[in-house]
Amino acid sequence: MVDELFTRKNRVLFIIHDLYQEDNPFPLGPAYLAAVLHRNGASVEAYCMDVFHYTNEHLAEHLDNNEYDLICSGFLAARFRETVLDLCRIINEHKK
């Protein structure tokens, strides 16, 4: 199955949601996953809402204008209700 995943150039989007903090290091989990996917031929993009404080509306526009084979997002449990539920709704409404 892994070989099938990399038979063509897949487009992968990692969404790093906003934690509403000033100190925003890029999370290591998505960085490691992106590196492995990239090394195996995938086109990987990070949409870092955390650093640039992008809104969900900005994300919706980005998803409307781009097509991905895989969309990835993680979250902190403490921010689940206030950020991730709406983020998932936006992704589901605007993914292609």
**3-state helix vs strand vs coil in the chain, percent to 5:** 50, 15, 35
How confident is the model at residue 57, as a pLDDT?
A: 95
The domain that holds 71 is classified in CATH as 3.40.50
How confident is the model at residue 14, as a pLDDT?
A: 96
pLDDT tens over the chain, length 96 residues:
556 655 668 999 999 988 777 787 888 899 999 999 999 999 999 999 888 889 999 999 999 999 999 999 977 666 677 778 888 899 999 998
By residue range, what is the domain housing residue 55? 2-94
Q: Is the pTM of this model over 0.95?
A: no
Q: How many domains does the chain have?
A: 1
How confident is the model at residue 86, as a pLDDT?
A: 86
Which strands sit side by side in the sheet containing 70-73, from one edge to the other?
Answer: 43-48, 11-16, 70-73
